[in-house]
Structure 1
Amino acid sequence: MGRRLVLSTLSVVIVVVFLLGVPLGVAMRNGIESSANDSLRAEAQRLLNTVEVRIELGEKVDASALARLVSRDRSATVKLPGGENFPLGGPAPDEGNPLRVDMTGQHGEQVTVVESRGRVTRQIRKAWLLILVEAFFAVATAGALAALQARSLARPLVDLAEAAERFGSGDPRRRRHRRSYGLPEVDRVADVLERRAERISRILAAERQFAANASHQLRTPLTALSMRLEEITMSDDMDAMRDEATVALSQVERLTEVVEQLLAQNRTPTAVAADVIDIDKIVSQQLDEWSVAFSKAGRGLQLVGVPNLTARATAANVSQILATLVENALHHGGGTVTIRTRTVGGSVVIEVTDEGGGVSDALGHRIFEAGVSGGESTGRGLALARDLARADGARLELVQQRPAVFALFLAAPDYPDVIG
């Protein structure tokens, strides 16, 4: 593009210079020739007037008196009525077509002034050379300006092409802060691309966040379900198998709820309307799901506290939060894990604690940050659990570090929320 712009600009300038320079050169040539002829004619007229005056006054006409009236580079001849001739000035040019002016006076005297055409030709050549030099500088200046203009036009287009290529490669991030290009049309295209890039970035970030959350939320119920299925395959007691299958079905139902909730949140990123839920039912479900895992680990899982509590929340969210807390206690804690339910003011509190070493001081204030983990886990569980709590208008806190006590504050049915 830049090369074409430079070539097209140079072509236009060359045509303009040609159209203006040639007539100007012709006009200057004609002007120089006309000026030389006028000067020659004026000199011949002065010489003729002087001869006429001397003849009318009866004075003698001699060459010494007339020589000063003829330029050195010109040759003149004065022919008097009596036939006397006076050669004046320099030698006559030997070229075939010199500049020549002939004049005749009232008394029959004749004056001829001749000048070599070489001086006029040199002046014409100088004029043409000046025009050519000016034309060269005009073309060179136009080429330099066209190159600068092409660069200023090509730079934003190159940036836009790079941005479009990044979009096509799946990297819509803006590389650097964009300054105005000074071209309204190009700036508008760049603004549109940047807005689309930001939107694509948000969409991709949301998709990645959704995939990460979905994988983490589905992993826990799938792990519990696989344990139940293993118990069924290893048991010979039909009654025990029937009980395990019943628990497995309830886990499948919870898994289905988690999937439906994830899809609903992905379609409409707003909080799901909370219902009044039975706390004992949700906690009992967690006890059933994790009892096998705790038995294999030689540890206990128990429920204590106030029975028959209800709260305003989403059952799937509360189940996922409790599953995350119980799983963390299983993997990172020690001893018996206790789920305690109680009420505080207008809140229903579900606490999960164990008898392990607790949370270190270095992790205590960052335990809910994404990617922060005291073990080899992804560090997403507690961050996701807190987000789920906030979505229900609840609050998840680490109320004690040693031993670790995590508390989920839910709104009682008669209170709007507990976030503060």
Structure 2
Amino acid sequence: MRRRLIQSTLAVVLVVIAVFGVSLVIVESRTISNSAQERVDSEALRLASIVDSRILGDEDITADILRSQVGREQYAVIRIPGKAPIELGVKPEGDVIHYTADGEEGETVTVQEPRSTVTREVGRTLLIIGAVALLAVIAAVLLAIRQANRLASPLTDLAETAERLGSGDPRPRHKRYGVPELDRVADVLDSSAERIGRMLTAERRLAADASHQLRTPLTALSMRLEEITLTDDPDTVKEEANVALTQVERLTDVVERLLTNSRDPRTGSAVSFDLDEVIQQQLAEWRPAYRSAGRAIVSSGKRHLRAVGTPGAVAQVLAALIENSLMHGGGTVALRTRVTGNQAVVEVTDEGAGVPADLGNRIFERTISGRNSTGIGLAVARDLAEADGGRLELLQAQPPVFGLFLSRTPPPHKPEDDLPTVR
């Protein structure tokens, strides 16, 4: 592309120089020839007037007296009736420019000039025009190279950006080139890169969240199925099967919730629900795991609280906190409920060493973990809490106390809720 731009620019410049240069040479040649003829004419008339004045003044007219009146490359012949011709200068050879002027006293003055003077002047003019044309060509080549680089380099960059997008590297370059059309393409590519980056981030986040969030209900379900395989009591089998079905429903809710959050993390389906029911469900699911670890899980605090949120999401948040205490905490895990203002609070605490001082509130950031874990459980839990208008906070680091704050105000009634469902 660079070579084509340079060649096309150079071709245009050469055509312009050829058209205007030839025209200028023709015009200048004619102008120089006309100027030389006019110069000879004026010299002849001037000498004729000098001779007239000397004749009228009865003065001597000789070659020595008039020699200084003729130019170096000019030749003049003065013919006065009754006298010998007077020659001034050296008679030129070859083609000449001449003019004969008649005086008032009957004399004639002929002035000649070699045409070579015109040729030399035309040659100097051609040399000047050629030098200017050469400078114009050099300037055109430099300008063409600059313009070619200015246009070709951005296109190369844009091609590399498009190739990076195709290879899965969505980082925008935010590079502009000062050319509106190219900057527009760069804007579009950067916007596409940002959208692709958000999509890839959402997919990776969904995969990470799913791997973390599905592990807990699958582990609990596996434990229930193991209980079923180890007992022959039909009543126990039925009870464990019912609990397993409940856990399957929760697993389905987890999957739907993850898919919903992957599309829009702020779309909640908040309702007013019984907080005790969710807490008791979690206690029932996690007691076997705590018994296996030689630990206990208990609940206390204000009963019969109603909170606003998505029960499945609240269950996932509590499961993440309980699992966090099981993996990183120690002693008995306690779930305490209380009321502060217009909010219901569920506090989850244990008797372990707590959160390290260097983590603090950064424990809710993704990839931040106190031990060798994924570091996304608490981050996902906070996202779930905030999706329905709640919040998850670290109230105390040592011993650790996490607080889940949920509104107690019922969600506003939407008019469309009264519309009949079309099936």
Q: Scaled by the length of structure 2, what TM-score is found?
A: 0.83
Q: Secondary structure at the match of 1:185?
A: helix
What do residues 51-85 of structure 1 show as CA deviations (whole Å, max 9, x unaligned)? 56667787775433443443332333345555834
Structure 1: where are the runs of 5+ without partners?
Answer: none
Question: Structure 1 residue 214: deviation in Å?
Answer: 2.6
Aligned pair count reads 412
**What is the DSSP-based 3-state SS (H/G/I as helix, E as strand, rest coil) of the residue aligned with 2:362?**
coil
Counterpart AA for 2:310: T
Q: Distance in 2 between matches of 1:206 and 1:6?
A: 47
Equivalent-residue separation in structure 2 for 1:404 and 1:106 (angstroms)? 131
Structure-2 residue corresponding to 1:125 = 123
Q: Residue type matched to 1:10 in 2?
A: L
Q: What code does the residue aligned with 1:174 have?
A: P
User: C-alpha displacement at 1:229, in angstroms?
Assistant: 2.7
Structure 2, gaps ≥5 residues long: 413-423
CA contact (8 A) 1:346 1:415 kept: no
Does 2:190 correspond to 1:191?
Answer: no
Equivalent-residue separation in structure 1 for 2:222 and 2:395 (angstroms):
32
Contact 2:260–2:267, Cα closer than 8 Å, also in 1: no
Q: Is the 8 A contact 2:343 2:408 kept in 1?
A: yes
Counterpart position of 1:148: 146
Match of 1:322 among 318, 322, 326: 318
In the alignment, which residue of structure 2 is the partner of 1:229? 225
Aligned residue in 1 for 2:4:
4
Distance 1:395 1:57 in 2: 125
Please state how far the C-alpha of 1:218 moved relative to its aligned partner.
1.5
Residue 343 of structure 1: how far off its partner (Å): 4.5
Distance 1:254 1:99, change over 3 A: same
Paired position in structure 1 for 2:275: 279
CA contact (8 A) 2:271 2:410 kept: no
Offset, 1:134: 1.5
Equivalent position of 1:36 in the other structure: 36
**Secondary structure, aligned partner of 2:214:** helix
- Does the CA contact (< 8 Å) of 2:270 and 2:411 recur in 1? no
Do structure 1's residue 295 and structure 2's residue 297 form an aligned pair? no
Q: 1:295 to 1:50 in 2, by over 3 A?
A: closer
Quickly say closer, same or farther: Cα 1:67–1:223, change in 2 above 3 A. same
Alpha-carbon displacement from aligned partner over 1:263-297 (angstroms, at most 9, x marks no partner):
23334443423223233332332233223322322
Aligned residue among 111, 114, 117 for 1:116:
114
Per-residue deviation at 1:354?
A: 2.6
Percent of aligned positions that are identical: 52
Residue of structure 1 aligned with 2:199, choices 184, 200, 203: 203
CA contact (8 A) 1:310 1:413 kept: no
Question: What amino acid is the match of 1:129?
Answer: L
Q: Distance in 2 between matches of 1:60 and 1:284?
A: 145
Letter in 1 for 2:191: R
Shift of 1:355: 2.9
Partner of 1:376: 372
C-alpha separation in 1, matches of 2:42 and 2:343 = 120
- Shifted more, 126-135 versus 220-229: the winner is 220-229
Partner AA of 2:201 in structure 1? A
Q: Which whole-Å deviations, capped at 9, do the CAs of 1:146-174 have from their partners, x for residues lacking one?
A: 43344444454444334333333333323
Q: Are residues 47 and 314 of structure 1, via their aligned partners in 2, closer, same or farther at CA, if it must alter by over 3 Å? A: closer
How many angstroms does 1:316 deviate by?
A: 0.4
State whether residues 221 and 255 of structure 1, in contact with CA within 8 Å, keep that contact through their aligned partners in structure 2: yes
Whole-Å separation in 2 of the counterparts to 1:107 and 1:8: 68
Query: 1:36, CA displacement in angstroms?
Result: 2.0
State the Cα distance separating 1:2 from its structure 2 match: 4.0
Which residue in the other structure is 1:89 paired with? 89
Give the one of 379, 396, 399 matched to 2:395.
Answer: 399
Residues 14-23 or 238-247, more deviating? 238-247
Q: How far did residue 248 of structure 1 move?
A: 1.6
> C-alpha displacement at 1:324, in angstroms?
0.9
* Structure 2 CA distance for aligned equivalents of residues 63 and 154 of structure 1: 75
Distance 1:353 1:56 in 2: 138
